[in-house]
Amino acid sequence: MMVKVLLFAVVFGAAVQSGIAQAESSTEVGHILSFETGWSADSISVALDVPFVNPAHCTKTSSYAVSPDDPGARVHEAAIMGAFFGGKNVQLRIDGCAYDKPKIIGVVVRN
């Protein structure tokens, strides 16, 4: 019985640690160089002037993308466009891939 408990603890701990390792990442604060819409979907991609962040090892590494199926996608797109046209700094929250690019799950707009 003790072996089963220890085995469970080890497996559970490994699962929790792997989840933590795959948690979201953030870009540095920077300016939006460009954004692009399209791909036959209501989506947007963004290029920044800071070092690229790619925690999920997505295959395309020139920009980040919003998935149109994600909650908050329209809000993320509005924040991106507002920051671009207003010349504001942004920081992107990244988790997983969308369109083979790091997926945007949050946008912070700063003065």
Query: What CATH number does residue 82 fall under?
Result: 2.40.50.50
Which residue range is the domain that position 101 belongs to?
Answer: 25-110
What integer is the mean pLDDT of 14-36? Answer: 73
Q: 44 and 79 in contact (C-beta within 8 Å)?
A: no
- 81 vs 21, more confident: 81
Tens-place pLDDT, residues 100-110? 999 999 999 99
> DSSP character for 83?
H
**63: in domain:** yes
Q: How far apart are CA 64 and CA 99, in angstroms?
A: 9
Q: Does residue 32 sit within a domain?
A: yes
Residue 5 lies in a domain: no
For residue 72, tell me if it sits in a domain: yes
18 within domain boundaries: no
Position with higher pLDDT, 82 vs 14:
82
Half-sphere exposure of 2 (CA within 13 A, CB side): 0
Kindly report, residue by residue over 38-95, the tens digit of the pLDDT.
868 889 999 999 999 999 999 999 999 999 999 999 999 999 999 999 999 999 999 9
Could you give the number of structural domains in the chain? Answer: 1
Nearest 5 degrees, angle CA 6-CA 9-CA 13? Answer: 145
d(CA 105, CA 111): 20
